[in-house]
Chain A
Amino acid sequence: MQRVETRLMDTTERPADDFLDLAKVLLLMQGSILVATTIEAVIWGMAFAGAAATGSLLSFAAAAVILVARARLSADRRWSRRLVYFVEAFTLTFLAVDLVLAIALTGTPPPAVAVLTRFVLPVSVIFLLRQSARATAAAASRGVNPALEGAS
């Protein structure tokens, strides 16, 4: 019990910028993957006559949202966090569908890289942004400027 409490304290006492810093790196990675996915979707669209353009458009939109939100991400910008949460929730929902299909049809989970890029990455980003928001709120309640907290 004591160990659990210690671990919780370890995270909640981290400066908000530390979590935001790592979240931005993960978002850059995710945005880059989405850009590559958009390019692939466009190429598939040219290769297969009649391939749906929706995938290219949605991939481009997701890449743009992630990269713009990453650039605007800061402790006091709630809308950019909400945009990221929306894209991550969308990604996780489709992964859930794919997971059910994979288990039902082949009895195996999706490939390891798909699990990393579509589960571990989004969940990590959500976790880090939430920790950052909590650390910011905790610092504000103590009357500390979150931007200066890490420098002390």
Chain B
Amino acid sequence: MNLPVEQEHAAGGSPLYQISAEHSAAVFALGLLLVGMWLLRQRGARDLAPSLAPADWLLAGLLAASAAIHAGLAIGQDHATGIRLLFLLDALALGVIARRVLAGAGAGRLGVAVLAASILAYWGSALGGAAPDQVGLATKLGEILALAIVVRPAPSRRGPSLRSVAGSFAIGLLVLGTATSSWVGAFRASAADPGAVAGHHVHAGGVAPPGTVLPVVPEREPTAAERVAAVDLVNTARVALARYADPAVAAADGYRVNGLAGIDFHAANAANENDDRVLDPAHPETLVYAVAPDGRPVLMGAMFLMPKIGAPGPTIGGPLTVWHAHEHVCFSLTPPGLAGLLSPLGMCPVGTIDMPLTAEMIHIWIVPGAPEPFGDLDEAWKRAYLQATATRP
């Protein structure tokens, strides 16, 4: 549904929430199948299997859809020959089983074996670091649903049998395994480009971690002027923010420091978020604190937010000062706060809303020696710095 975005800024969202370009052939094949089914129906094909139960109709449809998608992947030129051959075999097997179901013969053990193998192959691919996308996820959920139909117990007036309970448990595990492997795949794929996490940018071919929209930055060194501008920005911020080392001063200026805890506490200022100032070191939208091991709060830096969603931040330091945004962040309303990221299964925690995109933002870390003054501050470095701060008299 969400096609790959092509913008100058904030171009690199996670494939987890998009349809990868390499899966276009699969989507096209699915479209052809739907058109074909509609044409058959117009010609009275409904009478071919009039006695099928609704569950069997759905099963045949799911199997045919998965077969079409795998056939599209086999025809597409984006995978190695061996993988394409496996896709083709999967498509043929799923097609044969769909035909059997339409004929009233049921999917049988072959159906269970092929569907389970297809789902497990997806897990293997994702755990191996292949970035999952919406086509893969939708296909796997469809296959799990097909498997749930195949293994469902016959309607009975008696209570649930051990077999039906085991079958339900297995379906639950397959759903959980698909979500887990997809998270792992999405994060592993982004870890392949170190800049995706540390520098808050990706290079050509790299992918962003889930929930983060990173711009694609050409691989070039910053100019001398850009270096000077970046250093000036950090130094100006250090001077301007020094007074907020005391959270009480920050609170008096409107920053929400209540409940200060952890090593990445963001204290927002609602007034500054709405003042239309852009990258003003004296008026950051958010201050970032960490609590040292001795319990002292330490001002680590600040986060600057653009006034509007979609507005690109000024990259005054060229590739050194790259802005990023967040996508599909789940927000709770009761009480207001962050509740996670949109699941590969398409769900935010119940009762929370999915914020599809935030305004662009950039961090400036004012602590001395920060390895990435504008990117992501490495957690191990942060802990070591806080430890050293705590041992200082």
Contact = CB atoms under 8 A, between A and B. Distances in A.
Interface string A95-132: 00110011001101111111111100000000010000
Contact of A116 (B149, B179, B346): B346
B353 A37 contact: no
B29 to A, nearest CB: 15
B211 to A, nearest CB: 10
Contacts of A94: 348, 350-353
Interface string B315-326: 000000000000
Contact of A36 (B309, B328, B345): B345
A89 interface: no
Given A25-B152, A101-B353, A32 B340 contact: no
B339 A98 contact: no
B145 interface: yes
A36 B152 contact: no
Given A28-B168, A54-B334, A110-B1, A105 B347 contact: no
A22 B332 contact: no
B1 A112 contact: yes
B155 A50 contact: no
Interface stretch (A55-63, A77-85, A136-144): A55-63
Interface in B335-351: 335-351
Interface centre among A31, A52, A118, by most chain B C-beta atoms within 10 angstroms, is A52
12 contacts: A18-B54, A24-B152, A28-B172, A44-B339, A55-B332, A55-B340, A55-B349, A105-B309, A108-B1, A111-B17, A111-B346, A115-B346
Nearest to A61: B350
A113 B152 contact: no
Contacts of A56: 349
B148 interface: yes
B259 interface: yes
Contact of A21 (B55, B259, B264, B335): B55
B188 to A, nearest CB: 17
Contacts of B55: 18, 21-22, 25
A36 to B, nearest CB: 5
Interface string A60-82: 01100000000100000000000
B376 interface: no
Interface centre among B19, B262, B345, by most chain A C-beta atoms within 10 angstroms, is B345
Contacts of A101: 353-356
Interface string B134-175: 110110010011001100100101001000000010011011
Contact of A113 (B58, B144, B171, B345): B345
B262 A49 contact: yes
Nearest to A87: B350
B81 interface: no
Interface of A: 14, 17-22, 24-26, 28-29, 31-41, 43-45, 48-52, 54-56, 58-59, 61-62, 71, 90-91, 94, 97-98, 101-102, 105-106, 108-118, 128, 147, 150
Interface centre among A21, A55, A58, A91, by most chain B C-beta atoms within 10 angstroms, is A55
Nearest to B263: A49
A105 B330 contact: no
Interface residues of B, number: 63
A52 B1 contact: no
Contacts of B347: 33-34, 37, 59, 114, 117-118
Nearest to B46: A10
B134 A112 contact: yes
A147 B328 CA distance: 45
Given A55-B352, A71-B160, A111-B134, A29 B337 contact: no
Contacts of A29: 141, 144-145, 148, 171, 175
B346 A105 contact: no
Nearest to B53: A18
A59 B229 CA distance: 48
A31 to B, nearest CB: 8
A50 B335 CA distance: 10
B117 interface: no
A25 B145 contact: yes
A37 B186 CA distance: 17
Contact of B354 (A17, A91, A102, A117): A102
A24 B355 CA distance: 31
